[in-house]
Every structure is written in structure tokens, then in C-alpha cells.
Amino acid sequence: MGWPDAFGDFRNRLVSDPSFRRSAKAFAPTRAKARDNARALFDLFAGFVYSQTVLACTQIDLFNFLKAGPQPLSAIASQGDLPLDGATRLARAAASIDLLEQRGRDWYALGPLGAALVDEPGLAAMIQHHQLFYEDLADPLALLRGEKNGRLAEFWGYGEAEGEAGRPDAYSKLMADTLPMVAEEIFAAVDLSKFTRLLDVGGGEGAFVSEVAHHMPGLQLSLFDLPPVAERAKVQLAAKGLGACVDVYGGSFLADPLPQGSDLISLVRIIHDHTDEHAMAILKACRAAIAPGGTLLLAEPMAEAKGAAPMGDAYFGFYLLAMGGGRARNAQRLTEMLAEAGFDRVRTHRSRIPLITDVITALPAAA
């Protein structure tokens, strides 16, 4: 046992003693730390209330409503079709967690966190999508024991034979709504100008290739996804004027070979959705399809990300379990898997906001 472990055990023995906790609250040098710990502990079990406050504000489009400036409680009540007392409770709750700020007696304006949600349809979509996740978390032990196949699994279609999607319209729309903020981080992390052809594996309705088309108009584009999703992609891309610019292929990346010859293959929020077995199958399929000297780009939130550690093991640990059994992996584990799949020269590109995504690139190893 090293000294950090020994110190941790000593600290835990002290904090576990009720008499020590009482003394810490009474002793001036430790009072502030005791108060901070009490607040942090309370926030852990009050977090659901905070998240529902964000949801309620999003459902009535409150942040965009306040974009032009402060409004009285009566206007907030009208915006949300709420009684005045309900609007007052919501506004006060939102102000307590920095979503709003009180201005005078009965007026409210955006707070620093609420302002960050203005004109962010991707974040609004995720906030509302989480209603399904919270239903699955109502009994966390049942989820951990594998006793329930909940709303997220139904939404994403996981558990279906051969990976067939249950609701491609709903999940593809969510991916399309949230993808622009992910693409922005990818473009900031990796220079795409040296590539000639991109294949986006698991590309949904074409949200990522659409972003790439605007960011790098000279790049040849293609995507691969399940047949019902691929058909929707053709419609969506045509509506954007990109129908002739993107080759769309339908199939299962767990069973069918990928189109050959692209010098850039992207996996955007794909690998963490899958078990190790399926993730390896996808990586090997990419290795078989990639052009000699090409690059595999893997982008997703990763475990143990600096500045976003709880996101990997706490948030995604439960979210991906409810979704169907994937897991967030750290960069080291992904590097090992890429090596096993036939890639080397693995490089991690830290994004500006790892909470949204981190990025790894790898090149095919010599045969």
C-alpha cells in the first residue's frame, strides 16, 4: 500500500466517525470543508430535481424566450402555460442552479448556464431525450442485474436480431440534432484537408457527412448504415441538395463487408455503443475496407477524460447499459483494441470539450 492509499484509509476512518464530523463542523479551520462536502453530497441525491428543472425550462423554450432580455413572472407563466405560482417555483429553482438570474422582485433573466443553452437545438434534444433514461434509472439495481429491457433499449433498437433498428426515425433525428456540436470538435482536432474520400460508418441520416460537406466541400463522401436508416439518409441528403454528392450504402457492419477504398473512415459515436466483441468486429471491418495508407477516425466521449471523468464511468456507464450493453472506454483500451484489429500509429487528439467527444486516429498496420 502506497502513501496515497494509506492517507485515503486514514481520511475515511475519520470521516466515518460521527463525532469527528460534528467536530469538523464546529472547528473553524475545517468548517468550510465540512460545509462543501455536505453540499456536494446533497447535490448527488438532489441531482434529479436539478435535471428536471432544466427539462421543464427546455420544454417551454424558456432560455430562447429570455434571449431578448429579462421578463416578468407573468410573462414566464404565459410562455409555459403555467399558473403564476408554478412559474415562480420554476424560476426560483432555475435561478438557484444558475440557469436564470433574478432581476428585481418579479423579473428574471438568463443566468450563465441558461445563456449557454440559447439556440442549441442539439442540447435541447438531448435534455428532452433523457426522459427515457430517467425511467430506466428508476430502479438502478434491476438495470444492473439485467432484469429490465427499458425505454432506451427500445428507442435505440438494441437487442433486435442482427442489430436491426427498432425506431430509426427517432434515433436518427436525435443523432442529427446533436451531431453538429460533435462535428465542430472533430474539425478543430483533425485536419481533413489531406484526404480524398470519407466513408462514415454508422452514418445515420447523413448528419456528419453533411457537416463535412460544408466544412470540406472537395472531399468525396459516402456513408454506411442499416438499410432502413440508409433509405432515410438518401431522402435527407437529397433535401439538403447533397443527394448527388454522397454515396449511401445499406447493410450491417456486424455482418456485411464495408465499401472499399476510402482513405478516411470515420466512426462517430459508434464504438462505445457496443460490446467488446461487436466493437472488434466493426474495427476489423474498417481495417479490411480502408485504403492503403488511409486513416481511421474514431470520435466519441471516452472514460477517464481529463476534466470530464464522471461522464465516462458514471453517466455513460449507466446510459450505455440501459441502451443495450456498450461501454465508454479510455484511450488506452481503445488503442489496444485498434492494435488487435490491425491498426498502429494511434494518436489521441484531445478535443476542446472532451465532455462532447475525444478523437483518436489510427493507420492500418503493415501486412
In DSSP notation, 132-176 reads HHHHHTTSHHHHHTT----HHHHHHTTTSGGG--S-HHHHHHHHH
Residue 148 has pLDDT above 80, yes or no: no
pLDDT at res. 167: 56
Q: How far apart are CA 210 and CA 172, in angstroms?
A: 14
Residue 205 has pLDDT above 70, yes or no: yes
Domain CATH code at residue 274: 3.40.50.150
What are 95-114's pLDDT values in tens digits? 999 999 999 889 999 999 99
Record the pTM. 0.80
Domain that holds residue 25: 3-115
Statement to judge: residues 260 and 306 lie in one domain: yes
Name the pLDDT band for 323 (thresholds 50, 70, 90). Answer: confident
Task: Choose the weakest-confidence range: 201-215, 302-316, 338-352.
Answer: 302-316
Residue 129 lies in a domain: no
pLDDT at res. 332: 94
Q: How far apart are CA 252 and CA 262, in angstroms?
A: 18
pLDDT at res. 172: 66
Q: How far is CA 357 from CA 66, 174, 212, 353, in A?
A: 29, 16, 16, 7
Statement to judge: residues 161 and 74 lie in one domain: no
pLDDT at res. 312: 78
Statement to judge: residues 10 and 55 lie in one domain: yes
pLDDT at res. 265: 98
Query: Which of these three, 62, 80, 115, is where a domain ends?
Result: 115
Query: Which of these three, 115, 130, 157, is where a domain ends?
Result: 115
Q: Which of 291, 355, 359, 297 minimizes the C-alpha distance to 331?
A: 359
What are 345-360's pLDDT values in tens digits? 999 997 788 878 899 9
What are 177-193's pLDDT values in tens digits? 788 889 999 999 999 99
What are 38-68's pLDDT values in tens digits? 888 888 888 999 999 999 999 999 999 999 9
Mean pLDDT of the chain: 89
Residue 318 has pLDDT above 80, yes or no: yes
Residue 126 lies in a domain: no
69-74 average pLDDT score:
96
Residue 162 has pLDDT above 70, yes or no: no
Q: Above pLDDT 70, what percent of the chain?
A: 95
Tell me the three-class secondary structure of 74-140, residue by residue: HHHHHHHCCCHHHHHHHHHHHHHCCCEEEECCCEEEECHHHHCCCCCHHHHHHHHHHHHHHHHCCCH
pLDDT at res. 1: 65
> For the chain, how many structural domains are there in total?
2
306 vs 302 pLDDT, higher one = 302
pLDDT at res. 160: 42
Domain CATH code at residue 82: 1.10.10.10
Statement to judge: residues 51 and 144 lie in one domain: no
Statement to judge: residues 84 and 145 lie in one domain: no
